[in-house]
Amino acid sequence: MTFKQSAHPLLLIPGSIEVADNVLEANGSPSMSHTHQPFIGIFQSALQNLRKLFKSTDHKAQAFVISGSGTLGWDIVASNLIKPKEDALVLSTGFFSDRFADALTTYGVNTDVIRADLGDYVSYEEIEKALGRKKYKIITITHVDTSTAVLSNVEEISKIVKKVSPETLIVVDGVCSVAVEDIEFDKWGIDYVLTASQKAIGVPPGLSISFISGRALDVALNRDVDTTYFASLKRWDIIMKAYESGKGAYFATPSVQLINALKVSLENILCKPLDERFKLHIENSDWFKGELEKLGLKLVSKKHAGCHALTAAYFPEGVTGANLFPLTSKRNVVFAGGVHKDIATKYFRVGHMGVSVVDRDDTKVALEAIKESLLELSVKS
């Protein structure tokens, strides 16, 4: 830990997460030409390492890194993998799944949503029934919905899709799951994972990162109607392939410093076995959720449906964001409020991803801040 981390408030929201010093340093690196070395080598390394992060060895699959927010990933899906009037099945486990449906609808896609009970994942029976009733072009799974901390089982759902409707493209919103939860891209037969830089990948916000299967890429490249310019995978595919093979290319100026930061963060992540990383996140999350329950807090996600990237917990009686957060802030820890419309003011969220879990004991700091603040509140009242 060097020059940067001194005395800034510990950010334990479910993204942006805390960023390692060498990643921040890469993000502060001087200007480089986007079509020359050393940047070509940097981008090449990032694209190659993304394959490892998704455990993919299929050479037809391709990583895409495009300047933008995680949200841009929804536009990419809506404007590359499916056309207006085609059908999409959205599995909704919260606010972010619903917004994915909004984005699809904006592009004229017919969107059916199966909504899980609050805190639960979508029932496999309902998925199977829906897939049997209609031929869907895509199914979308929000791997971890950041509004509820619900984890969907991508492997199980993929099995159902492969059985009932194998042509349906399996699209995973991995914004809050990639680099926390295991994703076996090839093995599970996933077609598209979208994510962003600022969650467990551990880079400042500003990159839309995705990984696409060969068959989904075929759909994008052979599309006859273009409904986007900037988010067109047709235009980006040759660029990504050029950089990954060690050549510069140009469609739009890439975010040079953020990609440099991505390269460094992927190296940080991949220097240890991925499965150990996932295990650490599971153990840490289980421990933290258990500790909050010992304090009497009720979790938003049901026991069998909890993710490992964050914890969403209801405030205890008499506690609100307005009285709790000033006390946790005083202890120099920043948490997030709720975003699920049904319960927005009734719960809060604690992120536990990346360096906070792998290299530091930030979740313990979070627990102490919550304990002390609740105690202070109870003494006051």
Interface pick for a second copy out of 30, 273, 296, 318 (rule CB under 8 A): 30
d(CA 315, CA 71) in angstroms, rounded, equals 29
Residue carrying the six token digits 């997030």: 336
Of 308-367, which residues contact a second copy (CB under 8 A)?
Answer: 334, 336, 339
> 252 vs 5, 65, 66, 232, 242, CA distance in Å?
33, 12, 9, 12, 14
Using CB under 8 A as the criterion, what x/- string covers residues 137-176 for binding a second copy?
----------------------------------------
Pairing of the two strands 10-11 and 333-334: parallel
Figure out which of the listed residues 152, 213, 255, 285 binds a second copy, where binding follows CB under 8 A: 255
For a second copy, the binding residue among 48, 55, 71, 291 (CB under 8 A) is 71
Nearer to a second copy, 43 or 121 (CB): 43
Kindly state whether residue 229 participates in binding a second copy, applying the rule CB under 8 A.
Answer: yes
Residue span 188-227 as binding mask against a second copy, x where in contact by CB under 8 A, dash where not: --------x-x-----xxx-------------------xx
- One residue of 54, 74, 121, 243 binding a second copy per CB under 8 A: 74
- The distance of closest approach from Cβ of residue 166 to a second copy in the complex, given in angstroms and rounded to an integer, is 29
Does 110 contact a second copy by CB under 8 A?
Answer: no
Dihedral sign (CA 149, 115, 80, 71): negative
User: What are residue 333's DSSP bridge partners?
Assistant: 10
In the complex, least distance from residue 304 CB atom to a second copy, rounded to whole angstroms: 29
Structure tokens at 303: 């026991």
18 binds a second copy (CB under 8 A): yes
User: Residue 210 — φ and ψ, nearest 5°?
Assistant: -145, 165
- Residue whose CB is less far from a second copy, 34 or 137: 34
Answer yes or no: is 115 a known binding residue.
no
Distance CA 153, CA 100 (A): 18
| Shortest distance in whole angstroms from residue 354 CB to a second copy | 10
What angle do helix axes 214-221 and 233-244 make, rounded to 10 degrees?
130
Count of residues binding a second copy (CB under 8 A)?
A: 60
Q: With binding defined as CB under 8 A, does residue 103 bind a second copy?
A: yes
Q: Is 34 in the site for a second copy (CB under 8 A)?
A: yes
Residue 45 lies near a second copy (rule: CB under 8 A): no
For residues 157 and 179, give the distance between their C-alpha atoms in angstroms, rounded to a whole number.
Answer: 20
Q: Answer yes or no whether residue 14 interacts with a second copy by CB under 8 A.
A: no
- Provide the minimum distance between the beta carbon of 118 and a second copy in the complex, in angstroms, as a whole number: 20
Contact set with a second copy (CB under 8 A): 4-5, 8-9, 11, 13, 15-19, 24-25, 27-36, 67-72, 74-75, 78, 102-103, 106-107, 196, 198, 204-206, 226-232, 250-258, 334, 336, 339
